[in-house]
Amino acid sequence: TMPSGYSLCCAFVPGEMHAIVGTKGGRLILYKLSTGEILSDIQAHDGALWSLDIRPDGRGFVTGGADKLAKFWDFELVNTKSS
């Protein structure tokens, strides 16, 4: 269980080590699943963040909010495991 406020949508990031949560306040929160640590918390929309979906190629996602905007986000998956 991880605190996030009023969550409306969520998705697992490819690699299944992180999750993204969208909130009623329009925030995007990125969690590290193994620890529950918040890695990023940004104001993504003015008003509720209603929807969130990972791109089919796994290199980004799209959000839709009460501000009547669809926003496209890119991310890079980085392997931080030591050999």
Tell me what pLDDT residue 11 has.
95
Q: Which residues contact 13 (CB under 8 A, 6 or more apart)?
A: 19, 20, 30, 54, 75, 77
How many CB atoms within 10 Å of residue 37? 11
For residue 55, CA distances in Å to 24, 58, 71, 78, 80 come to 22, 5, 12, 17, 22
Taking the model in full, what pTM does it have? 0.85
Q: What average pLDDT is seen over the chain? A: 90
| 17 class by beta-carbon count within 10 Å (0-12 exposed, 13-18 middle, 19+ buried) | middle
| Per-residue confidence band for 76, with pLDDT thresholds at 50, 70 and 90 | confident
Instruction: Specify the pLDDT at position 45.
Output: 97
Of 1-5, 44-48, 51-55, 68-72, which range is least confident? 1-5
Please state, for a pLDDT cut of 90, what percent of the chain lies above it: 76
User: Does 31 have pLDDT greater than 90?
Assistant: yes
